[in-house]
A and B are shown apart, each in its own frame.
Chain A
């Protein structure tokens, strides 16, 4: 497979895909997306290297493939408030870049390396940086989820005072300092990519210029099966709803349990449905675990099937009629939605954020109110209508895989490779303590060094 490249981009190759983790160590969405892109670039014959941050204590678990590199870091030396890595981590990363000659850097997350590493490389004259955003960590100190502390309400806009209220022990001054650090650091980045428009809108609202942001959906790493047609509606005796993923309150499984309780009280419903919960139950609170065990024991239509192999996900999904995504936080572009589409199944999801964007209500799936088990029960009951199911099946989109993901990224890389790509005027939102001065000076510093 070959592809014609922009000359500016050609001069910067190989591309360094820089991930905060390696898929042989952890299976989070960001590292899976980064590795999928790397595989896609290689499939297209594009020179690329994959550089992953690996915690030193997990070094023995690492399984590097061809053109893959590891930067070993000490988690204890990392600062999680300001997301600052240590000098040794940056030194290792610079060493790999020198060794490989990579000059176009695509960061998937900055964690483990540190925002300082991203900034320092972005300020390096002969390098170009593209950052793929996977959540809101730059905006929100609460695990990048934009969910308030301690009540877990949705947060629609980060401000110094609002963040200070979430973290009174840190105070609004530090929150302001943190925001300024990230805005200043992002000012040196050439281009941003996000897998959802929702994520882009949030970052634009926060201060990243819209002109420097582009949306590219995550590709699916694994083989995408042909969509089956599903059983004919008239033949159905039981409607199967499947949940896939971590079994945690943040993912809304407790909402699903409440919905199951309501469904048990709906006449005739218990006999018509089956709810399967596939996933890992590690690290959940005891009361949540007890509730899950109690309900799966008392409700015959509710089953907890436990962890599953990633390779089996399409088969498991195809045993379902719907895939459920009841998350109570915004989400961005959950891979489970793309997997459901790849398996040819509509999605029932919380009608917020990235989920609402990826699942068109009444077209490719159904929405329910966030955290509302009664509403989810109502929607599940509605979904058992054969006509509704058939209408949704007709509009399931076709996700793409590594190669298409890589093609789309190459266009973004080419744009970033053009001279002056980061000089796109002021940020769109000037906060009361605007970092404009720093942004201007940082850019001046970069120009002075020869770009």
Chain B
């Protein structure tokens, strides 16, 4: 719900609505652009949003300032227009300049070269666009409006200003238009598609109290959640605002906003600050303030703004978005070249550190050498340094063991299990042994695992780390593994594979680990803890 709007804006809207209805009845009338009835020109156009087009230009004084209109741009459109007029030295005495708002379904398109606006109700007089058509951007139009508004002597300048400042308007940088001495900046917008965003910035308003914030990203508008807005001291603004010491204690703000944000929406940010009197002011933001959580900054960066995020009312939505995004990312893999089809595969998830990856391949080759029959090998790496080494390592495996070798990349090798089903499908594997990234099984663990891989046991067997408490790998059938994932999705945090440990049989021996699990992430652990019960550990 938006705060109450200024009365002038509401009045203008009702006037325009009435004119638009009248214009709809005029659509059937023929339009004749007789040159004697040319009443002026449209010099610039800014299409603010569907239904709202702003114009500047000049018009004969006798044309009036409010009318139903019919536009002609290859076809006819009904609309309504309100003008505010001012004197301009370059115009003849019977004309004055205007800024105006056009309520219409018409929007200038790429094909638009000329547009005629017939002024109702007679539709005899008309104004037309200059050639070539001059399209204006929001900030440019606002600056022009701010410059001329004090000059206007006729028409609804206050109402137009109200419309420009209304909650429906996303004209950037309306502080100059409003006349209010409001300054604001945003330090950071941490956006999470599927959830919304967190906004962190400051605002100095000497006369009005900030009650709410909204952000527009591309065409998406997000509003601060009730109760999520809080204020912070910003003593660093003291030098910039020496006469406003009373505002500095709560000049900083943080807010959480939700909305159906898509990844492609994270552009053209505009902040709207709502005040207790119902007015609002927009601020154009630098695109660099928008950072995508989980991409440019880790998810746990949100904890900087809401240290008790897991206890906030919006956490369930946040956690769901994180989980969905992580699951999609973790499930993605890419095959390099073609994969030899084989029933039994050793899938070695290579660690990101190039030396560790080399050692993994060395150990794999050592343990496979001389085994008969040989399983096939798949090497999986992240798209970092280890990826660059993949072809060399595959050659090593083939040379040292004679085993066929397939290659894959995935996003995060510390969490491989969501990507495994697709990998297993492309390999045609019926049974598999997977060795986790950074896990280095000892000879007994290799031997035991390979024996099980080449056997027919249906049950899950796991390799554990030296401390016995961390998953280092597993041997299973592809069918049982897929069935398990259908009922219990692995965690997206550091405990990604821990649920497999459960009651599974242990392979003899142990694995050394260069790291225990993925990088610890408090946020992902909270997200996992908030996951709906789904069977959990086996």
Contacts and interface: CB of A to CB of B under 8 A. Distances in A.
Interface of A: 77, 79-82, 84, 86-87, 91, 116, 119-120, 171, 173-174, 176-177, 180-181, 184, 433, 435, 437-438, 441-442, 445, 449
A79 B354 contact: yes
B348 to A, nearest CB: 15
A87 B400 contact: yes
Contacts of B180: none
Given A77-B392, A433-B466, 20 more contacts: A79-B354, A81-B355, A84-B362, A87-B396, A87-B399, A87-B400, A119-B366, A171-B514, A171-B515, A174-B353, A174-B356, A174-B514, A176-B512, A177-B512, A177-B514, A180-B512, A433-B512, A438-B443, A441-B444, A441-B447
B396 A86 contact: yes
Contacts of A180: 512
B442 interface: yes
Interface string B339-370: 00000000000000111101100100010001
Contacts of B362: 82, 84, 116
Highest count of chain B CB atoms <10 Å: which of A91, A119, A173: A173
B359 A84 contact: yes
Contact of A91 (B399, B443, B513): B399
A437 B509 contact: yes
A6 B515 CA distance: 50
A91 B400 CA distance: 9
Contacts of A449: 370
B434 to A, nearest CB: 19
A86 B509 contact: no
A87 B353 CA distance: 19
Contacts of B512: 173, 176-177, 180, 433
B395 interface: yes
A446 B20 CA distance: 94
Contacts of B358: 79, 82, 84
Contacts of B447: 441
Highest count of chain A CB atoms <10 Å: which of B358, B396, B514: B358
B299 interface: no
A441 B363 CA distance: 14
24 contacts: A77-B392, A79-B355, A79-B359, A81-B355, A82-B355, A82-B359, A82-B362, A84-B358, A86-B392, A87-B395, A91-B399, A173-B513, A174-B353, A174-B355, A174-B514, A177-B512, A177-B514, A180-B512, A184-B443, A437-B442, A437-B444, A438-B443, A442-B443, A445-B370
A439 to B, nearest CB: 9
B318 interface: no
A177 B355 CA distance: 11
Contacts of B417: none
A173 B396 contact: no
A120 B367 CA distance: 11
B443 A441 contact: yes
A282 B170 CA distance: 67
Interface string B419-448: 000000000000000000000101110010
A173 B515 contact: yes
A433 B399 CA distance: 31
A293 B370 CA distance: 61
Q: Is the interface of B mostly helix, strand, loop or mixed?
A: helix
Contact of B443 (A77, A86, A437): A437
Given A79-B354, A174-B514, A181 B443 contact: no
Contacts of B440: 177
Interface string B112-155: 00000000000000000000000000000000000000000000
Highest count of chain B CB atoms <10 Å: which of A86, A177, A442: A177
A322 B474 CA distance: 65
Nearest to B466: A433
Given A82-B355, A84-B359, A437-B443, A173 B392 contact: no
B258 to A, nearest CB: 40
Contacts of B515: 171, 173
B355 A438 contact: no
Interface in B442-461: 442-444, 447
A93 to B, nearest CB: 13
Contacts of A438: 442-443
A173 B467 CA distance: 12
Contacts of B443: 184, 437-438, 441-442
A44 B49 CA distance: 97
Contacts of A86: 392, 396
A445 B400 CA distance: 16
A2 B174 CA distance: 102
B354 A173 contact: no
Nearest to A442: B443
B435 to A, nearest CB: 14
Contacts of B396: 86-87
Nearest to A77: B392
A171 B515 CA distance: 9
Nearest to A78: B358
Interface string B356-392: 1011001000100010000000000000000000001
A450 B205 CA distance: 88
Nearest to A174: B514
A449 B370 CA distance: 10
Contacts of B399: 87, 91
Contacts of A173: 512-515
Contacts of A445: 370
A433 B447 CA distance: 19
Nearest to A184: B443
A445 B367 CA distance: 10
Highest count of chain A CB atoms <10 Å: which of B362, B447, B515: B362
A91 B358 CA distance: 17
Contacts of A181: 359
A85 to B, nearest CB: 9
A177 B359 contact: yes
A207 to B, nearest CB: 16
Nearest to B395: A87
Task: For the complex of A and B, list the 5 residue pairs with the smallest distance between their C-beta atoms, beginning with the closest.
Answer: A81-B355, A441-B443, A87-B396, A87-B399, A79-B358
